[in-house]
Amino acid sequence: MEKTLNVKYAIIGENYELRENINITIDVEKGLIVNIGTLQRGFTEKPLNISAIAIPSPINAHIHSADFIFSCSGLKLSIEELVKPPHGLKHKLLKKARTKELEKSIMQTLKYLISTGVSTAADFREGGIKGVKLASKSAKKTKFRLIILGRPLKKYNMEKLKKLIKEAHGIGLSSTLSFKPSYLSIVSTLVKGEGKLLAAHVSETKSSYEEGDFEYTLKYYKPSFIVHGTYLRRREFEILAEKKIPLVMCPRANTFFSVGVPQIAEAIKSGTMVSLGTDNAGWILPSIWREVEYAFNLTRLQDRKMAEPKIFFKMITYNAAKTLSLEREGVIDEGMKANITLLKLSPNIVLTKNILASIILRTDRRDVLEVLLEGKPLIKTKLKW
């Protein structure tokens, strides 16, 4: 079955061009965009006329879903006291929480994510195999696409490690520094053998950077992507660009945890593929709109010339898709997957000299009308708040 969306505006193609009065025809079974046109009427018999802006669905490239219900605890604590495994407050709370509470927490995070108009998020899920299974269960209930990166427990033998990799979409380590080179190499080989994702927090804090976690991670772990890079500078960004290792930056989390200011402008200039994530759902509200606005403004502070709306729109769409190995995504075009978010024609977005800039700087979750993941709606049926 095909359906055509007749929309007022759409952001089309890899150059994110703004087009007016656009028809987007979707093959619902295949979940693909099959035609884009400019006729007054759509291609299918009953085109849907929607007063909306169609954009490629944004992707939140880094979250921790289970701490939503611990929100705002330990406000005066340092990052180590708050979230560092195994003794940080978050890990004590996770250990103490009942399964039902964790399920509720993950579910709230997912519902919130859907309400912000994203179709996908990548979750660094704590708690080994059990933690991964909990997140899978919630994701299935909401139909949201959660990319779950599991974390091996210290006591895991080889069999358990393999099972974890099998259950998850890959591995996401809090830090590679707590593992021996031989162990990292084994994890790397196993994960890559399964064609899955291999990620870690890297150089989030000054101390981890000074301990050499960047070189250590690249040498022994050989990640598919890294997260944070708060302390990375031009030389390291150039290495990432050359080795084609994407970087997920989380500037709001870096500010909240008081670890430092990520050099986003430098990362862009060096050619590193940058995407954005909101990190811990308990301390940073998982809104990709707040994140992209903050990242843009911070970059503007660092180098105004780098504050180009297209670059930032690409971070939360195409770059994030590539980082998570999601092919044919992040762009609305013929042959691409129909992952489309429809935004209302809200005055805060359309009364503007630059719609793309307004989208990244002024969108609110109340402006989100619908999210389609491979042509199927995520919002209307599932959201109660």
Instruction: By CB under 5 A, name the binding residues for Zn ion.
Output: 279
| Nearer to Zn ion (CB atom), residue 67 or residue 329 | 67
Q: Which of 205, 190, 199 lies closest to 222 in space, CA to CA?
A: 199
Q: How far is the CB of 62 from Zn ion (least distance, A)?
A: 6
| Angle of CA points 160, 216, 257, to nearest 5° | 85
Q: What distances in angstroms separate CA 162 from CA 56, 60, 121, 158, 222, one per listed residue?
A: 35, 27, 23, 6, 18
| Nearer to Zn ion (CB atom), residue 279 or residue 367 | 279
| Nearer to Zn ion (CB atom), residue 213 or residue 279 | 279
Dist CA 369 CA 336 (whole Å): 21
Residue nearest to Zn ion (CB): 279
User: Which tokens hold the place of 255?
Assistant: 């500010």
Q: How far is the CB of 124 from Zn ion (least distance, A)?
A: 5
CA dihedral 341, 345, 346, 352 (to 10 degrees): 110
The total of other beta-carbon atoms located within 10 Å of residue 242's CB is: 11
Residues in the chain: 385
| Nearer to Zn ion (CB atom), residue 178 or residue 189 | 178
Q: How far is the CB of 330 from Zn ion (least distance, A)?
A: 22
Q: How far is the CB of 202 from Zn ion (least distance, A)?
A: 11
Pairing assessment for the beta strands 2-12 and 368-373 based on DSSP bridges: unpaired
Bond preceding residue 58 cis, omega within 30 of 0: no
| Nearer to Zn ion (CB atom), residue 42 or residue 131 | 131
User: Which tokens hold the place of 153?
Assistant: 């427990």
Pairing assessment for the beta strands 376-377 and 225-228 based on DSSP bridges: unpaired
φ/ψ of 358, rounded to 5, equals -65, -40
| Nearer to Zn ion (CB atom), residue 200 or residue 268 | 200
User: Which tokens hold the place of 194?
Assistant: 């399964």
Q: Which of 115, 30, 1 lies closest to 339 in space, CA to CA?
A: 30
Q: Which strands form 368-373's sheet, in the order they lie side by side?
A: 32-37, 17-27, 2-12, 48-56, 340-344, 368-373, 376-377
Q: How far is the CB of 249 from Zn ion (least distance, A)?
A: 11
Q: How far is the CB of 123 from Zn ion (least distance, A)?
A: 10
| Nearer to Zn ion (CB atom), residue 16 or residue 216 | 216
Q: How far is the CB of 280 from Zn ion (least distance, A)?
A: 6
| Nearer to Zn ion (CB atom), residue 279 or residue 374 | 279
Q: How far is the CB of 92 from Zn ion (least distance, A)?
A: 17
